[in-house]
Amino acid sequence: MSIEIIPAIDILHGKCVRLTQGDYSSQKIYNEHPLEVAQQFEDAGLKRLHLVDLDGAREGRVKNWNVLEQVAGKTNLIVDFGGGIGSAKDLQIVFDSGARFATLGSLAVKDEALLKKWLIQYQADKFILGADVRDEKISITGWTVDTEISVFDFIENFKTAGVKQIFCTDIHLDGAMKGPSFTLYKKILKRFSDLHFIASGGVRSLQDIFELEEAGCRGVIVGKAIYEGLITLKELAHVN
């Protein structure tokens, strides 16, 4: 496959959980030891990991950096880390703890100038722009605050500033096991055909992944489908 499969680990109170549509009250704990999960992904031959600090996203500062440090230190996974990066101190903690990429969404809205400064200071290829979307508008702060910013304008702004990788989550479909947001992704890729676009949310089968690849997605983040056994690590190891 040409599409890169990126498993996700969401951290809340130090545990591996999944939410449905970003609702913190819907949390389901899958493993109390995220490192064990990361090692299982690596053993299956997966190369990357999408690590999300849900505590940090809600509080606006990095909280679960110790989990990142463990995963980066005890696996060879290429880790992107997001959630709560709101200051230069947060960013330095993330890179010092072993993240290859910093994923930023809320900050891109709250302090656009600071992010653009970092793109120059650290080089743009160290960052992934996170576009969390509800009805084609950007949502921030752990999906708890909606904005009036169009996802298309959001991507255009930071693509022009040098961002190479962008992942997009349709909040309505995240964790709902109803399939990815194919219509939205196709609209985005039609406008930004050269984008390194990573789909996120709603994946429930290998067929969904094949269709995302056909649509032009360069990567796909898979979470709940793995944890619920709809896609097995053996299957992913076979196709990755």
10 is catalytic: yes
pLDDT tens, N- to C-terminus, the chain (240 residues): 799 999 999 999 999 998 776 777 888 999 999 999 999 999 999 999 999 999 998 888 999 999 999 999 999 999 999 999 999 999 999 999 999 999 999 899 999 999 999 999 999 999 999 999 999 999 988 778 899 999 999 999 999 999 999 999 998 887 677 899 999 999 999 999 999 999 998 999 999 999 999 999 999 999 999 999 999 998 988 776
What residues does 102 pair with on adjacent strands?
A: 81, 127
Which pLDDT value is given to residue 239? 77
DSSP 218: S
Which pLDDT value is given to residue 58? 87
53 is catalytic: no
Nearest to 158 by CA among 187, 130, 199, 190: 130
- Find the CATH number of the domain harbouring 50: 3.20.20.70
Which pLDDT value is given to residue 115? 97
Cα–Cα dist 173/175, whole Å: 6
Q: How many domains does the chain have?
A: 1
DSSP 101-147: EEEESHHHHH-HHHHHHHHHHT-GGGEEEEEEEETTEEEETTTTEEE
Contact 19, 233 (CB under 8 A): no
Instruction: Report the amino acid identity of residue 193.
Output: S
> Which one of the listed residues 132, 170, 174, 208 is annotated catalytic?
132
**Residue 126 backbone zone (phi > 0: left; psi -120 to 50: alpha; other: beta):** alpha
| Enclosing domain of residue 118 | 4-239
